A and B are shown apart, each in its own frame.
Chain A
């Protein structure tokens, strides 16, 4: 412990604390912009400067630790003067058209500028213009980039890809796609973690809400929507709804009020995915296909892009099951179209996802069918859903908790937990056990695959389960940097598994790149807990007990992994083919 004085207050703090942490402990939140704990502690923005008594030069509080006897001022006239000047300089290279910025109201720069009472910028404004393909699933606006380097760091340190890098030298130094590539050429996973960690509006998903509005307006189209499990944990955050009220039912109601014709919960197709994937696993496992390498889950499109570009030789170990989004899209344009008695091309499928990579996934050639176009016609993120609700001036508190439409209404707890790391594995094991034994294990028998905390144990949760005399060795990993480490261990033979679940975003889809943004906070673990709470409190907790899924097999697909199921619900990913 050391004794320091902050803003006249004498305090004792741990000796390894940064000045910023020590100040926070005394109730003084020092403003910051580039800082991201453990990821970007590079003291670049200089907003967090403080004055150290006896020293001429200001020091940054984010990356300097306290020392015995320090007397610090976090808000002296000198600090205020310089901090304000620094922010004015940042604003001189930032496109300040806040009214048209998707991050307005949730922008760290806007907040700091407002807090510092900056009413005009005394400098000449110079904006950088980099070319960008507006059709790419996410958009970079270099006019808004403040070069805080967070995207560079999150991609390299957390996601292990290094898509972003510093480019150029001198005052022209900027952030761009690494290796002088275009974003299309880069091995970007589309995870969107750079978006959720951008303090301003320089990185955003491509806006697809207008496409959905257009479909709603088109009388020829029947708009059918699905909402992914993780969306329910986060959409209320931006609308001020507490978790108890921010239910899937209210999202479905909001969609109906906007004019969507039929609404479904992706949990249904998550159960369908489990039926296919668990049966596939048992079959391939029994055949001995996973002696060298495990079977990998295939529902996360960020992971799919990652394995294709980084470990192409492992692509053949992916489950062939499509993701729940794609399965639901395919089912909507076949089974459901038949039910409605309409031609598939009349159906416009929309999915609401916590994810940016889902936009890319829906556009893949693999998912284009002759008869109906893409399985999924538009993907919007949780953030875009919130925008649409606001745009439709729907008062969230007035929404009703409605059920999804029939006949794809059932959803089990197993499907719900798909949104959290370990969830797909746990759901699959519940059903695989049933496939092998012909009876259910207790629903919580496989909870050992659940993560113990955000990025706990480097994002990897290992577990072994004995089913009769068969030992199934599993691992669930989230975060692509963690994934790379795990795959390298598998490749070196240091660890052996039969079944591995991978989710690209730390914590799983709940921490997805399409979720609401809270600068400096990682909410994935808490959101995941909501999903586990929902699972415990549902009557159905096994995908193979989903009555509507069973009915669909009976009348349409016959059985899991049938020929028809293979045609519609499975796919073969090819090495390196990203589109």
Chain B
């Protein structure tokens, strides 16, 4: 007789495991705008299917809650129903034996509090105010609403130049975004319901690499109107591009020697090679944008002067003032901000850090740029000092992985405590307080000190990368509303009491992505055009291929490959390799064409003009 058996999963177990994964991906790619009450009902059904059936609150209570929600949805409920639901949920939360019960009830309870309005709307008016939004997830989630299914279809057919033309309708930085976009478009890609999100950024890069030089479209006849744009970053240049296409004459004021803003002076060459950034900038300049370098707003020229000289003024100065740690000795030699550090590199000032130890504080993308740049300058040891866990870092996971592969040390769960300086006020190291992960607050895990003594990390260079602000003083003087380190515009990009002045990009939104700045540029360009008394529209005459009718057989996602870490840290050349044509064709074929299939063909599938 055998006493024990080796457990092996049944066929049903295996299939169920697969279905759980399917469901996980499905929930991840849920489109926004769904009725939260109906979703609560759906979750609850799943929850009570999970109950083991031992305990009363979970076995019976969850089912009863579901009946009550059903009543709400069927218009049979009263406010009493809501009260009963709340009491029942609380009772299950407090009396269920295990998490299957109390967590299920907690989900219902959170909804009763969090979207009570929706419950009340169903009860009082017998209707749901929700409607399906964002029929094409990628287009909706792209802040600039680039026609993603359109250009993917063009890449699939090898029509790369047309793809670039189509992208430029909404985003004049196709090459740049092909390299560094944080691709919010991929977050809810419906293909994830089948297997995995489409590699949208990779396909854009593909188009950019294979298109060759693509000229911008013809500008509309000159309107004779003149617009000044302060700041030549992605926002300012995008606005300049569209305003030129609309027939207005734009002059960009850029304080630095070259255009590009953070794209040139913030993002290192190995992520976005400067010659590729030039491709986008050159196309923008071909529309006839005039540029004045070396003038800084405030000291050199004021907003009021610009208002007098131009028909409209756009402020898009970005956010390049750094946030301070707030520690003593922060002014020591060797302590600098990531913005200054990276800007120097952008200007070609490559420091020799051979033999030096560098510590970078912060867990965002700028921090990753700083550490990987320091590594390329020959530093002996480069560390990231971060209060939370690696999991909590706001940098893109691929950036963190890239940094680790290049030999960067992660000093997580350590909060900067004090700066140690030596002779000549030169930094020698930093003390950090060990932290432990703690309760989840506002959806994010907080930290608290472990109580252990501070640790000492010696360093020659300390770089702050904990966020950016704008330099606000001049704007405040000019009467432009400023608060919390940004310019406060209306959602149309203008100001109540200052006709003809607009602002957009990081300086108005706070530090964000290039694509967000481009999106803001579209808004202000359109509104400046209206302000000047015109209704120009931006469109693109590229014909988009018909949707392919292939079966949607599950297929892996093509990810981008990178140069070997040991090789790439020796130079500042690009890290990421482009897809091959074969890979691109396969990847493009994975697109489900939500512009043609599903709700998109009914409403909101394609905006041909804006």
Contact = CB atoms under 8 A, between A and B. Distances in A.
Interface residues of B, number: 25
What is the predominant secondary structure among interface residues of chain B facing chain A?
A: loop
Interface in B421-436: none
B129 interface: yes
B35 A170 contact: yes
A180 interface: yes
A56 B549 CA distance: 10
Contact of A43 (B35, B132, B550, B601): B601
Contacts of B601: 41-43, 63
B551 interface: yes
B403 to A, nearest CB: 41
Nearest to B121: A180
A172 interface: yes
Contact of A57 (B132, B547, B551): B551
Interface in B103-159: 125, 127-132
A459 B603 CA distance: 24
Contacts of B125: 180
Name, among A55, A153, A169, the residue most crowded by chain B CB atoms within 10 Å (CB to CB).
A169
Contact of B131 (A42, A55, A57, A166): A166
Contacts of B597: 43
B551 A168 contact: no
Interface string B251-290: 0000000000000000000000000000000000000000
B419 interface: no
A55 B35 contact: no
A167 interface: yes
A67 B546 CA distance: 10
Contact of A59 (B33, B42, B549, B603): B549
Q: How extensive is the interface on chain A, given as a class?
A: 20 to 34
Contacts of B42: 170
Given A42-B602, A63-B601, A168 B546 contact: no
A44 B549 CA distance: 17
Given A166-B603, A172-B128, A64 B34 contact: no
A56 B131 contact: no
Given A41-B601, A65-B546, A167 B551 contact: no
A169 B130 contact: yes
Contacts of B602: 42, 44, 149, 153
B549 A64 contact: yes
Given A42-B602, A64-B547, A65-B546, A172 B131 contact: no
Nearest to B551: A56
A169 B73 contact: no
B598 to A, nearest CB: 9
Contacts, number: 58
A165 interface: yes
Contacts of B35: 168-170, 172
B549 A167 contact: no
B71 to A, nearest CB: 14
A172 B547 contact: no
B384 to A, nearest CB: 43
A181 to B, nearest CB: 11
A146 to B, nearest CB: 15
A258 interface: no
Contacts of B551: 55-57
B38 interface: yes
A168 B546 CA distance: 30
A405 to B, nearest CB: 51
A165 B129 contact: no
A41 B73 CA distance: 31
B596 interface: yes
Nearest to B133: A169
A169 B128 contact: yes
A52 B597 CA distance: 17
A117 interface: no
A392 B554 CA distance: 64
A67 B157 CA distance: 15
Interface in B15-53: 33-35, 38-39, 42
A55 B552 CA distance: 10
Given A168-B128, A173-B132, A55 B38 contact: no
Interface in A167-185: 167-170, 172-173, 176, 180
Interface in A22-51: 41-44
A169 B42 CA distance: 13
Interface in A149-198: 149, 153, 165-170, 172-173, 176, 180
Contact of B130 (A149, A165, A168): A168
A406 to B, nearest CB: 55
Contacts of A165: 131
Given A44-B602, A57-B551, A170 B38 contact: yes
B291 to A, nearest CB: 34
Given A41-B601, A42-B602, A149-B602, A169 B132 contact: yes
Nearest to B549: A59
Contacts of B39: 170
Contacts of B546: 64-65, 67
Given A41-B601, A63-B601, A170-B34, 15 more contacts: A43-B601, A52-B549, A55-B550, A56-B551, A64-B546, A67-B546, A149-B602, A165-B131, A166-B131, A168-B128, A169-B38, A170-B39, A172-B38, A176-B127, A180-B127
User: 4 smallest A-B Cβ distances: which pairs?
Assistant: A42-B602, A168-B128, A169-B35, A169-B34
Interface of B: 33-35, 38-39, 42, 73, 125, 127-132, 546-547, 549-552, 596-597, 601-603
28 contacts: A41-B601, A42-B601, A52-B549, A55-B550, A55-B551, A59-B549, A63-B596, A63-B601, A64-B547, A64-B549, A67-B546, A67-B549, A149-B602, A153-B602, A165-B131, A168-B128, A169-B33, A169-B34, A169-B35, A169-B38, A169-B130, A169-B131, A169-B132, A170-B35, A170-B39, A172-B35, A172-B73, A172-B128
